[in-house]
Amino acid sequence: MSKLIFQAILTPEEEGGHSVEFPDLPGCFSCGDTFNEAVATGTDAAKTYVASLLGHVDAVPEPKRHRCPSGAEDVMVFFETDPYYVEDECLLHLTNGKFNEETLQAMHDATQGRNLSGPFGAAKDMWTAILDDSVD
């Protein structure tokens, strides 16, 4: 699991709330109604962004300290992530909450190649069964 710290730039918006940008993570933006909410949603956005990079075996940018624009505030956010963070969220979404936690864990393990001889067989067969059953 990667432990990272990135700078977030929070800019107050005219209509209220704050927008959040991560200068080292191009295209990673978030927002929140309050400063604390903006930091929390921004941290989750950065965590998801980096997990996706790791999952695609792309390089994670080196965190740097940037000058904060006038009128904005900056914070350093810490998070831990790995490629499975994104995959686990997708698995929960695809299964639409119809499996218990133990079954979801077995499915996760199967997709990671750690239990291919388990009750679900090959990961490809498992995903085919899930997606065929999930489509209404």
Residue pLDDT, tens place only, 94-122: 455 555 666 656 666 655 554 444 444 45
Which pLDDT value is given to residue 60?
A: 93
Mean pLDDT of 15-20: 95
Q: For 57, phi and psi rounded to 5 degrees?
A: 55, 40
Within this chain, do residues 108 and 69 fall inside the same structural domain, yes or no?
A: no
Query: Considering its fold, how many domains does the chain have in total?
Result: 2
Contact (CB, 8 A) for 10 and 73: yes
DSSP state of 98: -
Q: Which residue has the higher pLDDT, 44 or 56?
A: 44
- Backbone dihedral region of 28: left (phi > 0), alpha (psi from -120 to 50 degrees) or beta? beta
pLDDT confidence tier of residue 85, bands split at 50, 70 and 90: confident
Task: Quote the domain boundaries for residue 49.
Answer: 2-81
Within this chain, do residues 58 and 114 fall inside the same structural domain, yes or no?
A: no
pTM of the predicted model as reported, rounded to 2 decimal places = 0.65
